């Protein structure tokens, strides 16, 4: 059996490979707007299609994790992820084909997320669990950054499809690395209880107030995070090229600058996940979530109005925005794994995925609708400002529910709640 460190490193490398397809569409969006002749609403709908497929895959992955085991689920869904990523890369050629094939690619992509979180929860104790999950989610952010930076480098001379092919190849590599990591991993510790039927799990989860609060606060977090990720590259490219005008035509320089900045932002997100996980092991889970979510909300309500600002200002705010918007993601996962029984972790993550990514899937489309409505085809400061505010409005209740979760833990164990609280 390999060491914990090597095991986690291999899984993190696998996660990087699987993550490129997550952001390859948003990285290519400045070119795809013109190539596929899409409106902003249509562009947002394609991204929403991915998220809908992804939430379904997360639900299925969670259910299979409780029944087949996390290792088997990961390996099974990894093969499907490879096939659908290749299909999207070679066959997507317009709005409708892009919408359908990106949705199908999302349908197989949850196997690199939910099962591995369950495996980490099984392998690491509470003292190291937050840090381990932070590193794993940080690997995803690093993969998002690689996708953006690679697309910025490839697009000017190889076109938008080169990025899609790269993402498909990375998915195959991620599957192979995951297989290497899990060759000697058992499905569950010998003392793990038998799985509970999903109806019984649903009843128990419904009565579990901390788990419910964690799931709903995560859902509002998803609205903000997925909306921001979908539109950040196009926003930065537009700011670099046209002072905020989304014309569908980007120069090589503006494309490289805008997507390059977005890539740096995802690197900041990787640091945010690591820092969030580490600090949650030290000062408490809900405290870290509250700090991160309040700062990111402030960015959501101000970022769009800054479209005409110097690029160095936009870059600084974007880095803080991305770091804090994703910095509590690993903490949400850790909290949920610590508030439900071990034999219900898969179902809990499944339910969270349906609610969270269901809300998050709508956010990019709403952003595009607001952008079309307020910009009348040529968005300026007001259109971008209102569109980014839609991201903040949808996330407003998140910190409120997290505060309730904080107080719930404090009442339940006033003398012994420092770790999770």
Q: Which of these, 33, 18, 17, lies nearest to 255 by C-alpha position? A: 33
Assigned architecture for domain 4-183+197-412: Up-down Bundle (1.20)
- Ranges of each domain in the chain: 4-183+197-412
31 against 99, higher pLDDT: 99
The CA distances from residue 319 to 133, 145, 268, 271, 323, in Å, are 21, 12, 6, 11, 6
Query: What sections of 92-208 are H helices per DSSP?
Result: 95-107, 114-123, 126-158, 160-182, 198-206
Please tell me the distance from the alpha carbon of residue 51 to that of residue 110, in angstroms, as a whole number. 10
pLDDT of residue 338: 84
The CA distances from residue 283 to 178, 291, 381, 405, 420, in Å, are 32, 12, 39, 15, 8
Q: Which of these, 173, 179, 181, 182, lies nearest to 146 by C-alpha position? A: 173
Q: Which of these, 405, 393, 389, lies nearest to 331 by C-alpha position? A: 405
Q: What is the pLDDT of residues 317-362, one digit of tens each?
A: 999 999 999 888 888 888 888 888 777 777 788 788 888 888 888 8
Please tell me the distance from the alpha carbon of residue 222 to that of residue 359, in angstroms, as a whole number. 7
Residue 377 has pLDDT above 60, yes or no: no
pLDDT of residue 421: 61
pLDDT of residue 321: 95
Helical (H) or strand (E) element with 391: helix 381-393
∠ CA 279-227-337, nearest 5°, is 40
DSSP per residue over 126-144, as a string?
Answer: HHHHHHHHHHHHHHHHHHH
pLDDT of residue 244: 46
For residue 203, give both structure tokens. 């009843």
Burial (CB count within 10 angstroms: exposed 0-12, middle 13-18, buried 19+), residue 298: middle
| pLDDT, mean of residues 280-297 | 90
Confidence of residue 190 (pLDDT cuts 50, 70, 90): very low
Candidate from 93-97, 131-135, 327-331, 378-382 with smallest mean pLDDT? 378-382
Q: What is the pLDDT of residues 76-104, one digit of tens each?
A: 999 999 999 999 999 999 999 999 999 99
Residue 195 has pLDDT above 80, yes or no: no
221 against 381, higher pLDDT: 221
For residue 134, give both structure tokens. 């932070």
Cβ neighbours of 364 (radius 10 Å): 29
> What is the average pLDDT score of the chain?
85
Residue 405 has pLDDT above 70, yes or no: yes
- Do the Cβ atoms of 280 and 334 come closer than 8 Å? yes
273 against 86, higher pLDDT: 86
pLDDT of residue 243: 52
Q: What percent of the chain has pLDDT over 90?
A: 36
Q: How far apart are the first and last CA of the chain?
A: 34
| pLDDT, mean of residues 167-177 | 96
Residue 33 has pLDDT above 50, yes or no: yes
Side-chain half-sphere of 37: how many Cα atoms within 13 Å? 2
pLDDT of residue 416: 45
Candidate from 150-154, 181-185, 273-277, 410-414 with smallest mean pLDDT? 410-414
The structure's pTM equals 0.76
pLDDT of residue 216: 92
Please tell me the distance from the alpha carbon of residue 130 to that of residue 273, in angstroms, as a whole number. 10
Confidence of residue 191 (pLDDT cuts 50, 70, 90): very low
223 against 117, higher pLDDT: 223
| pLDDT, mean of residues 256-283 | 85
Residue 176 has pLDDT above 50, yes or no: yes
Residue 417 has pLDDT above 60, yes or no: no
Task: Specify whether the backbone of 69 is left (phi greater than 0), alpha (psi in -120 to 50) or beta.
Answer: left
Residue 196 has pLDDT above 90, yes or no: no
């Amino acid at each position: 059996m390999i060491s914990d460190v090597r095991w986690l490193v291999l899984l993190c490398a696998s996660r990087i490979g699987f993550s490129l397809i997550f952001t390859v569409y948003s990285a290519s969006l400045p070119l795809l707007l013109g190539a596929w002749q899409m409106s902003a609403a249509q562009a947002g709908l394609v991204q929403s299609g991915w998220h809908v497929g992804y939430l379904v895959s997360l639900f299925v992955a969670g259910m299979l994790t409780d029944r087949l085991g996390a290792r088997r689920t990961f390996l099974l869904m990894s093969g499907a992820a490879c096939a659908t990523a290749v299909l999207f890369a070679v066959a997507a050629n317009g709005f409708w084909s892009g919408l359908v094939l990106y949705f199908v690619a999302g349908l197989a992509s949850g196997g690199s997320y939910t099962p591995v979180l369950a495996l980490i929860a099984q392998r690491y104790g509470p003292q190291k669990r937050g840090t381990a999950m932070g590193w794993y989610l940080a690997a995803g952010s690093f993969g998002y950054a690689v996708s953006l930076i690679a697309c910025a480098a490839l697009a000017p001379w190889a076109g938008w499809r080169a990025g899609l092919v790269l993402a498909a190849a990375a998915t195959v590599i991620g599957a192979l690395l995951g297989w290497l990591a899990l060759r000697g991993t058992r499905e569950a510790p010998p003392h793990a209880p038998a799985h509970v039927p999903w109806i019984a799990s649903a009843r128990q989860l419904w009565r579990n107030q901390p788990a419910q609060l964690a799931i709903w606060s995560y859902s509002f977090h998803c609205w903000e995070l997925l909306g921001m990720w979908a539109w950040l590259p196009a926003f930065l490219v537009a700011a670099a090229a046209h002072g905020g005008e989304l014309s569908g035509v980007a120069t090589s320089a503006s494309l490289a600058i805008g997507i390059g900045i977005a890539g740096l932002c995802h690197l900041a997100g990787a640091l945010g996940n690591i820092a969030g996980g580490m600090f949650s092991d030290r000062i408490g889970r809900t405290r870290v979530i509250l700090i991160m979510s309040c700062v990111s909300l402030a960015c959501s309500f101000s970022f769009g109005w800054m479209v005409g600002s110097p690029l160095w200002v936009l870059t600084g705010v974007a880095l803080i925005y991305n770091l804090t918007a994703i910095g509590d993601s690993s903490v949400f996962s850790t909290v949920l794994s610590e508030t439900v029984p071990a034999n219900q972790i898969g179902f809990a993550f499944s339910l969270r995925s349906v609610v969270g990514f269901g809300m998050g899937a709508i956010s990019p489309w709403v952003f595009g609708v607001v952008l079309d409505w307020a910009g009348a085809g040529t968005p300026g400061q007001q259109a971008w400002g209102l569109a980014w505010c839609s991201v903040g409005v949808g996330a407003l209740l998140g910190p409120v529910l997290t505060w309730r979760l904080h107080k719930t833990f404090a009442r339940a164990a006033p003398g012994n709640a420092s770790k999770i609280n």
